[in-house]
């Protein structure tokens, strides 16, 4: 899978030698990031409660219920499309670790 343009809105807030912080806004149910592979380890911080559908490269779809402020981390190499499965807007902040401190 290659990178594909999605309908979610990515706003880079910080882009340094150490981290990249991006806010992802999904304005409606079904908005998505598009297919992508993470080149770096990353942390996701949900901005609100909601559910995302995570479509993996193998075609499986996993429901991911999120709670505002409850973070999770994933390693580099993850390939997926992230889809808003909430009946309304959804948003999270993604923090990519570009190099060790």
7 contacts: CB under 8 Å, gap ≥ 6: 26, 30, 31, 32, 34
Token pair of 6, please?
Answer: 């999605």
Residue 19 resides in a domain: yes
**Quick one: average pLDDT of 3-14?**
90
When divided into structural domains, the chain yields a total of 1
Residue 13 near residue 23 (C-beta atoms within 8 A): yes
What residues make up the domain containing 42? 9-97
Token pair of 49, please?
Answer: 């409660």
pTM above 0.85, yes or no: yes
Decide if pLDDT at 3 tops 80.
no
> What are the tens digits of pLDDT across the range 12-62?
999 999 999 999 999 999 999 999 999 999 999 999 999 999 999 999 999
The per-residue pLDDT for 99 is 84
Number of Cβ within 10 Å of residue 94's Cβ equals 20
> What are the tens digits of pLDDT across the range 57-79?
999 999 999 999 999 999 999 99
Residue 3 resides in a domain: no
């Amino acid at each position: 899978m290659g990178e594909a343009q999605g309908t979610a809105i990515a706003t880079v807030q910080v882009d340094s030698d150490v981290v990249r912080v991006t806010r992802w806004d999904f304005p409606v149910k079904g908005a998505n990031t598009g297919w992508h592979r993470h080149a770096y380890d990353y942390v996701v911080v949900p901005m609100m409660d909601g559910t995302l559908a995570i479509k993996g490269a193998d075609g499986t779809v996993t429901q991911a219920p999120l709670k505002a402020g409850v973070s999770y981390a994933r390693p580099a190499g993850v390939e997926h499309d992230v889809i808003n499965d909430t009946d309304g807007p959804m948003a999270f902040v993604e923090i990519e670790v570009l190099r060790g401190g």
